[in-house]
Amino acid sequence: MVKSVRCRYLAKSHIINCNAQNQSFIYANFRGAIFTKVKFNNSTITGCDFWGTTFKDCDFSGARISDCVFMACKFSNCNFTATTINYTTIVNTSLAECKNISLAERTTIYKNYPKCILSEELKATLEFLKSNKNLRTYKLLHISDKKYNELNLFLLQQRFTAKALTLLLMELVNHSTKKITTYKKLERQLKSFEIGGTI
């Protein structure tokens, strides 16, 4: 049985023939994970990152999926009957093997990896944050030492002005980033700085 998790980095996990029914997966990072014959029936999956994740013979019947990112995922023979999918971003991922899938409110599909335009100020901020151990491990702003996480930066640019984004990202140095494990958790943390009048 797979138990509920929150704010966990579970990259490259191999989960096979498990029951995850009625569980909650909140802000879990499943980058490169492989799920085979996992039952997610009636589970809540919120704010999770699935980058290069493989799902084979999985059942999501009745699950509630929201605020997630599916990037370059592979689905094979997966059941999505009565699954609710809201406010989710799907990139470079075929849904052909997702039986009975229905995308609801504000779910966006990009066939290709989006590119973003970065100001010099934002590049300087990203360079400064490169040394943040957690952000580096979770690959939220950089995929490698030389490559930005353009998808996350593109999504952040949809939510914040260029000036605000630069200031909000710099505010991360004054706070723990240990529990900022996914894109959505990062976005919500920056939003809390903005609402709290930090900038």
Q: Is the Cβ–Cβ distance between 27 and 46 less than 8 Å?
A: yes
Whether residues 103 and 124 fall in one domain: no
Predicted confidence (pLDDT) per residue in 145-177, tens digit? 899 999 999 999 999 999 999 999 999 999 999
**Whole domain around residue 94: which residue ranges?**
5-110
Q: Are residues 92 and 141 in the same domain?
A: no
Q: Is 12 left (phi over 0), alpha (psi -120 to 50) or beta?
A: left
Tokens of 62: 């009745």
Does the pLDDT value for residue 1 go beyond 90? no
Q: Count how many domains the chain has.
A: 2
**Domain final residue pick, 110, 135, 159:** 110
Closest CA to 54 of 8, 112, 110, 93: 93
pLDDT in tens, 89-140: 999 999 999 999 999 878 999 999 999 999 999 999 999 999 999 999 999 9
- Structure tokens belonging to residue 81: 């009957």
Strand 49-51 versus strand 24-26 pairing type: unpaired
pTM, to two decimals: 0.94
Q: Which of 64, 83, 110 represents a domain boundary (last residue)? A: 110
> For the stretch 81-110, what's the b/e string if a residue is b when 16 or more beta carbons lie within 10 angstroms of its beta carbon?
eebbbebbbbbbbeeeebeebebeeebeee
Q: Is 186's pLDDT higher than 70?
A: yes
Q: Which of 110, 136, 169 is the last residue of a domain?
A: 110
Q: What are the distances in angstroms from CA 173 to CA 49, 54, 128, 129, 167?
A: 23, 34, 9, 8, 11
Summarize pLDDT for 16-62 with one digit per residue, the tens. 999 999 999 999 999 999 999 999 999 999 999 999 999 999 999 99
Using an 8 Å Cβ cutoff, are 9 and 29 in contact? yes
Does any domain span residue 115?
Answer: no
Cα–Cα dist 191/25, whole Å: 21
